[in-house]
Amino acid sequence: MSKNLVELIRRHHEQGAPTALEVLKAAMDDHGTITDDDRRVAAERSGLPEATVYGVSTFYDDLVHPRGRRHVRVCTGTACFAATGDAHVDQVREGLGLQLGERSADGETSLAETVCLGLCHSSPAVRVGDVIDAGPGVVERVLAGTERTAPEPDPVSLLPEPVLTVPGGWEGLRAALDRNDPEATLEDVKAAQVRGRGGAGFPAGMKWQFARAAKGEHKFIVANGDEGDPGSYIDKWLMERNPALLLEGMAIAGFVVGADHGFVLCRSEYPLSKPALDAAAAQAREAGLLGENILGSGFSFDVTIIEGAGSYVVGEETALLASIQGLRGTVSARPPFPAERGVHGMPTVVNNVETLCNVPFIASRGVDAYRDLSPGATPGSKLVCFNERFAKPGLYEVPFGMTMRELCEDVAGGLVDGHELKALQIGGPLGGILPASKLDTPFDFDALAAEGCMVGHGGIVGFDETTDMRELARHLLHFGASESCGKCFPCRIGLQRAHEMFAADDPVDRQRLEELLETLELGSLCAHGGGMPAPIRSLLAHWPDELGLAVA
């Protein structure tokens, strides 16, 4: 990330300037396209150079697809693929007479793809304006102009004492402030062994320790709510239905590391998230739980809620920091780590939303109570969510260590309508694919890693016996190639080539594919290029006969 641009942004932020991305998003919302005049205005208001603003305007999905008065976005996430094999995409396209990314000549209707809307429990999903409809009949309703907001199920907790699925009550922050010993709270978070819930599983306490030790005029807490994993709607629920718990976790993190401000970046694919977080923050300010001198403790902390603009890789922490500052959401090499140079060049903690939501319980109830939630496994509580192929799809709060069989059969009720489970993709698009024969694998970091899979963020997408595994490879690599940020060469070119291998009807040369997967795994700058080979490797290992490989 350019140091010069970050410094420019910091200085303009001090003067109350908006980010370039905010100005461009507003222009898009206003008139459905970005003009050079919009870019000039964005440059002037944000203080960024015109060329930089132009680069931003060409990066994000939300800024590049022209919008008609009726903007239709069809979900091409993996749960929707598992539900229809992408038939719903073709139906919407044909019904509207528009290609993806096209706007009708009269400016009335436009169509774009979006990944994913977080309605995976009711796939397929289609968004019209800010109304998200899903489930049987969705395509017909959208084509008839009678779309309605799809209902979302309430979560179920399997824990004797729910942690994430009860409304946040700020007891954790009160306890931490009463104790008034940030170092001790830090030691508790470390002892509780909170592993990051966003995918990488990095110990949260370590990040806090680095940022606490770093020197900076200001420090920041960033909640990563860019839950881009197709098939996941965990952070969506937390941000929309339990936002106070997240804000409390952020305030505790701020108290520990000495930060006075936090940012939440929530996805634009979740139109309800920012309003819910803004409302919760306003409520907390009124109650004296955010703002100056919280509860008379002398500790001050406030938050800014930012909406993204459509980019999967922005979920990577350095890309997230770039996006928060209104720049292109591309990955930066580390060092410097965010704990040294983050938002505005200041020490910054970046934690996933669910990770931060685990913290209030530790602060209020203590380390032992937290570790007892998942006996003999990774400590703490975990949310998992199931896609529409299951009989009881939805969000569940579970301990670590249950087997995938218990989760899929006992908790989610097996598949619908007598379908047979063929495979699971766990933890997002960068996770391996577990064949149904391996359902006795425990849901935990090491056990899943041994099968080439991962906990990831906790989305569980089941595929039934009708799934065409070559089509699944094509689906995943289409996602991988179109979401590559374009920074590192292996991912930028390699995922395009991998997608081309499966997009054509030609046989796939297995050796060339495996060489390419190695280049991606070992050469990529971030987990996007590095992780996309994992599901392809699983498909090669378990379903080689279904992939249309060239006969050697």
Partner 1 sequence: MTSLTINGTPIDVAPGTTILDAARALGETIPTLCFDERQDPFGACRVCMVGVEGAPGPLPACTTQVREGMVVDTRDPTARRVADAVVELVLSELPEPPASHTELAAVARQLDVTDTRWPGRVHERDHDERHPYLALRHELCISCGRCVRACDEVQGTFALTATGRGFDANIAAGMDQGFQASACVSCGACADTCPTGAITEMSLLDLAPEPLHEVTT
Q: Interface with partner 1 by CB under 8 A: which residues?
A: 2-5, 36, 39-40, 49-55, 58-59, 311, 328, 330, 332-335, 481-490, 492-497, 500, 512, 515-516, 518-519, 521-525
Cis, bond preceding 336 (omega within 30 deg of 0): yes
Nearer to partner 1, 35 or 466 (CB): 35
- Min dist. Cβ of residue 322 to partner 1 (A): 11
Cβ–Cβ < 8 Å for 519, 494 = yes
Nearer to partner 1, 316 or 397 (CB): 316
- Min dist. Cβ of residue 64 to partner 1 (A): 9
- Min dist. Cβ of residue 532 to partner 1 (A): 12
- Min dist. Cβ of residue 441 to partner 1 (A): 22
Nearer to partner 1, 59 or 543 (CB): 59
- Min dist. Cβ of residue 336 to partner 1 (A): 10
Cβ–Cβ < 8 Å for 53, 43 = yes
**Orientation angle between helical segments 489-503 and 510-523, nearest 10 degrees:** 150
Nearer to partner 1, 82 or 527 (CB): 527
- Four-residue CA torsion sign, 93, 74, 59, 103: positive
d(CA 410, CA 122): 20
Q: CA 482, 484, 487 angle in degrees (round to 5)? A: 140
- Min dist. Cβ of residue 328 to partner 1 (A): 6
- Min dist. Cβ of residue 365 to partner 1 (A): 37
d(CA 88, CA 189): 45
- Min dist. Cβ of residue 515 to partner 1 (A): 6
What does 226-247 look like in DSSP terms, one character per residue? ----TT--HHHHHHHH-HHHHH
Nearer to partner 1, 446 or 500 (CB): 500
Nearer to partner 1, 272 or 337 (CB): 337
Nearer to partner 1, 405 or 528 (CB): 528
Q: Give the 3-state secondary structure of 281-337.
A: HHHHHHCCCCECCHHHCCCCEEEEEEECCCCCHHHCHHHHHHHHCCCCCCCCCCCCC
Note the helical H segments in 335-431.
Answer: 353-365, 367-371, 404-405
Nearer to partner 1, 392 or 497 (CB): 497
Cis, bond preceding 379 (omega within 30 deg of 0): no
- Min dist. Cβ of residue 151 to partner 1 (A): 35
Nearer to partner 1, 48 or 138 (CB): 48
Q: How many CA atoms lie within 13 A of 384 on its CB side?
A: 28
- Min dist. Cβ of residue 124 to partner 1 (A): 25
Cβ–Cβ < 8 Å for 490, 529 = yes
- Min dist. Cβ of residue 405 to partner 1 (A): 31
| Partners of residue 305 on adjacent β-strands | 264
Nearer to partner 1, 267 or 405 (CB): 267
Q: 3-state class of 265 per DSSP?
A: strand
**Orientation angle between helical segments 20-31 and 50-57, nearest 10 degrees:** 60
d(CA 467, CA 3): 47
Nearer to partner 1, 20 or 159 (CB): 20
d(CA 207, CA 414): 38
Q: Which two tokens stand for residue 69?
A: 């008065």
Q: How many CA atoms lie within 13 A of 276 on its CB side?
A: 21
Ramachandran angles phi, psi of 187, nearest 5°: -60, -35
Note the helical H segments in 397-526.
Answer: 404-405, 445-449, 469-483, 489-503, 510-523
Cβ–Cβ < 8 Å for 114, 268 = no
- Min dist. Cβ of residue 481 to partner 1 (A): 6
Nearer to partner 1, 379 or 531 (CB): 531
